[in-house]
Structure 1
Amino acid sequence: MDLGMIGLGRMGANMGERLLRGGHRVAGYDPGEAARAAAAARGIETVESLAALVDALPAPRALWLMVPAGPIVDDTIAALRPLLAAGDTVIDGGNSFYRDSQRRAEQLAAAGLGWLDVGTSGGIWGLEEGYSLTVGGDAALAGRLAPLFASLAPAPDRGWGHVGPAGAGHFAKMVHNGIEYGLMQAYAEGFAILQRKEALGFDLAQVAEIWREGSVVRSWLLDLCAGSLRDNPGLEGIAPYVADSGEGRWTVAEAIDLDVAAPVITQALIERLRSRDDAAFADRLLAALRDAFGGHGVRHD
């Protein structure tokens, strides 16, 4: 099956290479010359414009976007629309907000174009391990493109599926990432407690390795914890700054809108925000208040 890949960053190129291994033809475009060259070195056929990409594909075309969420998705779709013909399909495999995906699906449907939003998880390991894919959009269209999903997934019959109408794929991925926030926070807090109990002299990497086998908390995230603690036990050179890319915020907002209690995911998001507060104004004010009402004193910078 032929596919046009738009966005040949590390993940897009990895996905393209995995599709090539599955026997598909992949033509790709990226505005960056270096990205195109790197993808070409991996066997992906590259072109220098969106128009050339569309021309390189037989109808009905399938074009998979792996670009950052937000305005760039709309800009890319706007540039594509006059180049496409009825029956062509746009697939968004990035981390777009699900309501944006619903809006884009409606706009493309009005022009006779198909839409699928595919929540894609697997990161840099997906090339070898496969990708987890939640597909939203028309079920028949998802079925027609099933060979692509089957090749990207860990196995043809595992790790992917059509989960609902337009927006459902990205909604599921949003919640997936919210859960990820909570899991990561729990591991981080647990190992912080072990690290602080200096009197018992824990080897954190050893504990992580033990828990990887047979424990109810074993997981791929724990595997990554074990590797990180083995390679850099003191985590030297890593700043205590944790970014968020939006999905956690969206998950918390949806939980509030749906009257669903999600305290773990919410607190995990708050902890990420706290990690980026260099001035820690709130903590400074707390110390000042404690001194003001109780005379407890404050530490000075």
Structure 2
Amino acid sequence: MNDLQYEFGMVGLGVMGRNLMLNIADNDFSVIGLDLDGAKAAAVEIEAGPGKPVRGTTSTEEFIQSLRKPRAIMLLVPAGPPVDAVIKSLLPLLEPGDIVIDGGNSYFPDTERRVLELEEKEIHFFGMGISGGEQGARFGPSMMPGGNREAYERLRPVFEAVAAKVNGEPCVTFLGNGSAGNFVKMVHNGIEYGIMQLIAETYDVLRRGAGLSDDELQATFQAWNDTELQSYLIEITGEILQKQDEETGQRLVHVISDRARSKGTGKWTSQNAMDLQVPVPTIDMAVLMRDISKFKEERVEAANLLPNNRLQEAISTDHQEFIAKMRNAFYFAMISTYAQGMAQLKVASETYKYELQLQDVAKIWRGGCIIRAACLTDIRSAYEQNPSLPNLLLDSKIGGDLLDRQDDIRIIVKVAIDKGIAVPAFMSALAYFDAYRTETLPTNIIQAQRDYFGAHTYERTDKEGIFHTIWN
């Protein structure tokens, strides 16, 4: 093979970079990888096997010279300063028209800065979120690229080949300008936080509230994956609940610490939503609950000082009836979470001039990614029918589904309150629904208060203008 004909370059041959390289090669595209660790550079060739168009190197010069022009180079290195360091090392060897793709979880303002900096040198920079983890990278991820639309054509054949497929459609498409790709991935991760918290609360209510056994819990999540709740996160929860601990013989989940970790992307989603003044309360609650989980010692002390004596009271319905209500409640809250994230994407697209097509976002989330779910087909259809839809709750089918299930989520929330079980994600999802459909909110009182103590003025309902009252 001619060394100058490698179709694609990969910088960073860790788990994600190596698996994506192998995926590219399996789809008959030649790919060369760069890593300063010689063992990683050599290992990727061995893993690919003889005859595969794969090569690894530790030489930046050799790497650049071996790529077809305009060069397409993906970085899979830790977000932050490492990305800037790699760009700095590549820049002296790049030429106008070359394309650099950041495949990590970079914060979107960093991507926006890099787009502008490289644009001055006539080099295209893409921020591309990748979802699906190690298995996704190897066999088909969901990919969310944003940058220059014309430059994307150089990347499209490779990306469409390696992406996950749903009904023959690749789970990748050009999303929008500038940092659109990283922004969409950030919101994807926020929705992921929200749904994971909802699953955790569901597990807690069924276990501590309804008294389901380990076997009943596992069977419930496994069965739900054959319903409208079908999703990757429901599927793996069923598998997690089945796993036994080799040391103790009990279910492994019972010996896993409840101190939750995070890498910050959920927090970024919440922070940005506040900047845009778009409410995403379920995502906010998911971030909050990971934070409160870290105060383990204080929670142990509080549990002894403030005991919960309500858990002994039996629920008034049988298990199967309660599970059915829980299923409807979860569906309601899950759709509410998607609605919050999609609303944030719509406002961000207008604010940052991304030109996002939300039906495309829903389309590429249907496969490969962590939040893939059957409900995304309905979400995609809603935006296809009305691309300017401001909120999924305004779609007649989706809104109707929530109306039909609202009684059950109210019952579940009441049971949790009576039992002293914290369900902030469920409560916030329901409150979002109720607030959004309220024609007149009580925030007129807030406006009056603001004018009273700070002369901040207010608007009236009966005539145009800005008003101030001398209250005392």
**What is the match of residue 221 of structure 2?**
208
Name whichever of 151-160 and 136-145 sits farther off.
Answer: 151-160
What are the Cα deviations for residues 123-150 of structure 1, in whole angstroms up to 9, with x where unaligned?
Answer: 1221454111111011011122101110
Asked if the contact 2:79/2:106 (under 8 Å) is kept, the reply is yes
**What is the match of residue 180 of structure 1?**
192
Q: Which runs of 4+ in 1 moved over 4 A?
A: 197-200, 281-284
Asked if the contact 2:23/2:139 (under 8 Å) is kept, the reply is no
How many Å separate the matches in 1 of 2:222 and 2:237?
A: 9
Residue 53 to residue 277, structure 1, CA distance change in 2 (3 Å): farther
Gaps of 5+ in 2: 1-5, 49-53, 245-250, 307-472
Name the count of aligned residue pairs: 287
Among 40, 60, 83, which residue is 2:93 paired with?
Answer: 83
Asked if the contact 1:194/1:202 (under 8 Å) is kept, the reply is no
Give the structure-2-normalised TM-score: 0.58
SS of the aligned residue for 1:86 comes to: coil
Give the CA deviation at 1:235: 1.2
The structure richer in strand per residue is 1
**AA at the equivalent of 1:38:** A
1:247 aligns with 2:265: yes
**What is the match of residue 257 of structure 1?**
275
**What is the match of residue 207 of structure 2?**
195
How many Å separate the matches in 2 of 1:81 and 1:129?
A: 31
Residue 260 to residue 198, structure 1, CA distance change in 2 (3 Å): closer
**What is the match of residue 358 of structure 2?**
none
How many Å separate the matches in 2 of 1:168 and 1:247?
A: 15
What are the Cα deviations for residues 142-163 of structure 1, in whole angstroms up to 9, with x where unaligned?
Answer: 1221011101211373311111
**AA at the equivalent of 1:270:** L
1:98 aligns with 2:116: no
1:39 aligns with 2:52: no
How many Å separate the matches in 1 of 2:80 and 2:140?
A: 26
**AA at the equivalent of 2:271:** A
Give the CA deviation at 1:273: 1.5
How many Å separate the matches in 2 of 1:281 and 1:200?
A: 24
**What is the match of residue 124 of structure 2?**
114
How many Å separate the matches in 2 of 1:178 and 1:248?
A: 4
Residue 79 to residue 280, structure 1, CA distance change in 2 (3 Å): farther
Residue 177 to residue 134, structure 1, CA distance change in 2 (3 Å): same
**AA at the equivalent of 1:132:** S
How many Å separate the matches in 2 of 1:32 and 1:236?
A: 39
How many Å separate the matches in 2 of 1:67 and 1:91?
A: 11
**What is the match of residue 240 of structure 2?**
228
**AA at the equivalent of 1:276:** K
Rg larger in structure: 2
How many Å separate the matches in 1 of 2:68 and 2:161?
A: 20
**What is the match of residue 28 of structure 1?**
33
How many Å separate the matches in 1 of 2:269 and 2:211?
A: 40
Give the CA deviation at 1:282: 11
Residue 186 to residue 2, structure 1, CA distance change in 2 (3 Å): same
How many Å separate the matches in 2 of 1:157 and 1:220?
A: 18
SS of the aligned residue for 2:116 comes to: helix
How many Å separate the matches in 2 of 1:56 and 1:201?
A: 59
What are the Cα deviations for residues 43-76 of structure 1, in whole angstroms up to 9, with x where unaligned?
Answer: 2310012222112212221110011111100111
**What is the match of residue 130 of structure 1?**
140
Residue 199 to residue 86, structure 1, CA distance change in 2 (3 Å): closer
**What is the match of residue 331 of structure 2?**
none
- Give the alignment's Cα RMSD to 1 decimal: 2.3
Asked if the contact 2:19/2:137 (under 8 Å) is kept, the reply is yes
1:161 aligns with 2:173: yes
How many Å separate the matches in 1 of 2:221 and 2:73?
A: 42
Give the CA deviation at 1:33: 3.1
Name whichever of 273-282 and 189-198 sits farther off.
Answer: 273-282
Among 253, 264, 273, which residue is 2:291 paired with?
Answer: 273
How many Å separate the matches in 1 of 2:299 and 2:255?
A: 25
Give the CA deviation at 1:32: 2.5
User: What percentage of residue pairs aligned between the two structures are identical?
Assistant: 35
How many Å separate the matches in 1 of 2:292 and 2:39?
A: 36
Name whichever of 135-144 and 48-57 sits farther off.
Answer: 48-57
Residue 278 to residue 160, structure 1, CA distance change in 2 (3 Å): same
How many Å separate the matches in 1 of 2:41 and 2:106?
A: 23
Give the CA deviation at 1:234: 4.3
**AA at the equivalent of 2:88:** A
